[in-house]
Amino acid sequence: MARVWRLVSMSRLTLPRLIVLCVTVCLLVTIYLSLMPVQEQCPPCPIAATSWTGHQRRVDHSADQSDHPEWGLHKLAVIVPFRDRFEELQEFVPHMHNFLSKKKIRHTIFIINQADGLRFNRGSLINIGYLVSKKEGCDYIAMHDVDLLPLNPELSYDFPEEGPFHVSSPWLHPLYHYKTFVGGILLLRNEHFQLVNGLSNRYWGWGREDDEFYVRIKQAKLNIFRPANFTTGYHTFKHIHDRKKRKRDMKKTPDQKETARHRDYETGVNNVQYEVDSIRYMEVDGSPFTVVNVVLICDLTVTPWCEPLDVQANSLKRKSVG
């Protein structure tokens, strides 16, 4: 301290002059900082995995344009049954979010990811998506394949007032053209999905669950509505599935084939068996979506074909040896 005062005296600075100098320096520093541009903070990271509860609320993505109340009373849940198709997901989420936002459709995209080692079960995953979306305030759903992107802006995703609305009708879908086809993209009001008890939980592997769902809809005396007067034909949608890269699990055991021929009156959304492993709120290119990681539960006495085919083969070998 004594050295400081000696330096002050040597530089002929009096105490009042020193005080004025300090105040001036502080003022200049304050002005400089105020003129510097504000550094933006990193966007919030996705929420860590948590268990689903009825009171949990999804993240408030204040920057997204997916849920403005002024867009209407109804809110759409885009339910996507999913497993191991992340390249398609990266294209699907921004495309659908932008497509629906331009049409001012309030929406949330739910990716229902099957995180177990069983065969893929599209019906159960959609049932789970419906149960989850109800807790988020959605009052109608779109059963939506991840590899099917709408291209024609005239396609309707509005609330299906009159009954189920099949967006990807047989005369517009690029692959499937039979009259009873209801796969791809199908809109339903919550009460209609509940009325038919959702989809069967017995279809493990690829295919046929939507054909059984068609029977449920007709038996409930619901009319299926479809787009009309479209000139884009089979170019109405973009299909992004690579069959060579991701082969379908189409093999079926004899018992499985026999069961698939009959209407399932026993299983549906009211008794789908599963556990939620985690829920994550994420974004792709600023487009928000919710990932629900689920583990399905299979009763081997009812549907032994739920296990992968190599596991089934090993099980049969063990039984024959014993």
Report the alpha-carbon distance of residue 241 to residue 147 in Å, rounded: 5
pLDDT at 17 over 80: no
Report the alpha-carbon distance of residue 135 to residue 150 in Å, rounded: 27
Report the alpha-carbon distance of residue 225 to residue 217 in Å, rounded: 12
Q: Within 10 A of 197 (CB to CB), how many other CB atoms are there?
A: 18
Average pLDDT for residues 27-35, to the nearest whole number? 51
Q: Compute, in degrees rounded to 10, the torsion defined by CA atoms 160, 139, 235, 246.
A: -140
**pLDDT number for residue 252:** 74
**pLDDT number for residue 33:** 47
pLDDT tens digits, one per residue of 216-266: 999 999 999 999 989 999 999 999 876 666 677 767 777 777 877 889 999
Tokens read off for 273: 């068996």
Higher per-residue confidence, 135 vs 16: 135
Higher per-residue confidence, 103 vs 243: 103
Mean of all residue pLDDT scores within the chain:
81
Report the alpha-carbon distance of residue 203 to residue 307 in Å, rounded: 12
Tokens read off for 92: 């699907």
Q: Which domains does the chain have, with CATH numbers?
A: 76-312 (3.90.550.10)
Q: Cα 204 to chain center, whole Å?
A: 20
DSSP 69: G
Asked which of 27-36, 49-58, 120-129 is least confident by mean pLDDT, the reply is 49-58
Average pLDDT for residues 72-95, to the nearest whole number? 94
Higher per-residue confidence, 245 vs 115: 115
pLDDT bucket at 41, cuts 50 / 70 / 90: very low
Percent of the chain scoring above 70 in pLDDT: 74
pLDDT tens digits, one per residue of 145-170: 999 999 999 999 999 999 999 999 99
**Pick from 105, 60, 122, 83: nearest CA to 288:** 60
**Pick from 252, 246, 287, 261: nearest CA to 145:** 246
**pTM: predicted TM-score of the whole model, two decimal places:** 0.77
Helix (H) or strand (E) holding 152: none
